[in-house]
Amino acid sequence: MVACMPQYNLWKRRRKRIDMRTQIAIIGGGPSGLSLARKLSLAGIDCRILERRSRAHVLSRIRAGVLEQGTVDQLRNADAAHRLDRYGLLHDGCSLSDGKDMFRVDFKKLSGKSVTVYGQTEITRDLYDALDDSGVAIHHETESLEILNIDTEVPEIRWTEQGMRKSLRCDFVAGCDGYHGPSRAAIPTSQRTEFNKSYPFGWLGILSETPPVDEELIYVRSSRGFALASMRNPSLSRYYLQVPADEDPTEWSDDRFWNELRRRLPEQAADTIVTGPSIEKSVAPLRSFVCEPIQYGRLFLCGDAAHIVPPTGAKGLNLAASDVYYLSSALIDYYLENNWEGIRDYSQRALRRVWKSMRFSWWMTNMLHQFPDRDPFDLRIQDSEFNFVRDSENGRRAMAENYTGLPY
């Protein structure tokens, strides 16, 4: 028995759980989780972030590029927009093309607002730097995360980190863990409804260290499929092509990509393409998805954990920012003013705005892509939708108002 003791103590030490306490446990260190943490910490509310991946991995994900004015304002309020203000590109409009002709939608003139082109990777980096300054704890490479007791006053998160078991008790849980994270599944299936639409295609995207084809974005509805010419900065281009949903990106050499892009862009843009090696190439599926409600007990979902839009309207990250606005305001009102109203109504308030962007992204996607199963009637309607935007100032105004962001 005595001989067994050291081994028993070692086992006990290994099995021992490290217990922690915070006000808000934030699951997921993407844009939603990081910006929520920043806003809460500035208001003096204690929080911790639990992120499944390493910081380097999170920072290497190339995703969104277009920010609504409201998103920029949120980042400024969070004192995390110094680099954005310096390097972000203000765009007062964008162009639409049918593959031959091109017309401009003047956001500034039609809606009084602009958008800012600034990569999600940069936003994430800025938020990490800001959080380092405010001393918020971020646990990386968390494994086997479990969300417990969300319908009680003391929810608990358990996980493993570097082989150690950890537990975090909290007042509230923010599920900011993206579409595939565990938060949404913690709401019992009987208590949530999921609305789903998938599209029979994906986007093949590349990033290339070449100057963009134009000063503004060009969305193209070509007979060969949709194409988008976007950018990150004056010497970094981002291009997308509509491809079948199950397309293998390794089937696309750089030359094949550039040739296809040239065939889809209108001539005036195709002639100015500067090609070069791609530094990233991947296929993203397109999906519209909403979970209702996005709160249950003391758990609140934010961003992609709650909803997904196809990227055509550039709304995903912007919706994450509006969810964070509603949730951070609700939590701040609760802790600072003892006011429960925002917490009670979070799902309803956030989803009212989500559904409007859901409609816009679905509408842009429908207007600009080639659908394999469309009949001649559908095709004429699609033509008319595009022609209405081209020919009617009110059509373009509606697009400008939605694209630059509806009010919170």
What is 344-373 written as a DSSP string? HTHHHHHHHHHHHHHHHHHHHHHHHS--TT
Give yes or no for residue 359 binding ligand RFL (CB under 6 A). no
Is residue 384 packed enough to be buried (19+ CB in 10 Å), middle (13-18) or exposed (0-12)?
Answer: exposed
Q: Residue ranges of the alpha helices (H) in 135-280?
A: 254-264, 267-270
Q: Dihedral of the CA atoms 212, 214, 217, 220 (nearest 10)?
A: -100
Give yes or no for residue 181 binding ligand RFL (CB under 6 A). yes
Give yes or no for residue 97 binding ligand PHB (CB under 6 A). no
Q: Count CB atoms within 10 A of the CB of residue 289.
A: 18
Structure tokens that stand for 234 in this block: 């004056």
CB-nearer residue toward ligand RFL: 44 or 244:
244
140 has catalytic annotation: no
The arrangement of strands across the sheet holding 137-139 comes to: 137-139, 47-50, 24-27, 172-175, 299-301, 295-296
Give yes or no for residue 145 binding ligand RFL (CB under 6 A). yes
Binding mask 304-323 toward ligand PHB (x if CB under 6 A, else -) reads: -------xx-x---------
Asked if the peptide bond before residue 182 counts as cis, ω within 30 degrees of 0, the response is no
**Measuring CA to CA, which residue among 7, 227, 209 is closest to residue 97?**
227
Q: Interface residues for ligand RFL in 29-48 (CB under 6 A)?
A: 29-33
> Hunting for tokens 């954005």 — which residue is that?
84
408 has catalytic annotation: no
**Shortest spacing between CB 380 and ligand PHB, in angstroms:** 25
Residues in the chain: 408
**Shortest spacing between CB 4 and ligand PHB, in angstroms:** 60
Q: Which of 39, 166, 307, 315 is catalytic?
A: 315
Give yes or no for residue 65 binding ligand PHB (CB under 6 A). yes
326 binds, among ligand RFL, ligand PHB, none (CB under 5 to 8 A by kind): none
Q: Interface residues for ligand RFL in 189-218 (CB under 6 A)?
A: 203, 205
368 binds, among ligand PHB, ligand RFL, none (CB under 5 to 8 A by kind): none
Structure tokens that stand for 253 in this block: 């050499």
Q: Catalytic residue numbers?
A: 91, 219, 311, 315, 403
Interface ranges with ligand RFL (CB under 6 A): 27-33, 50-53, 58, 63-66, 120, 142, 145, 176-178, 181-182, 203, 205, 284, 303-304, 311, 314-318, 320
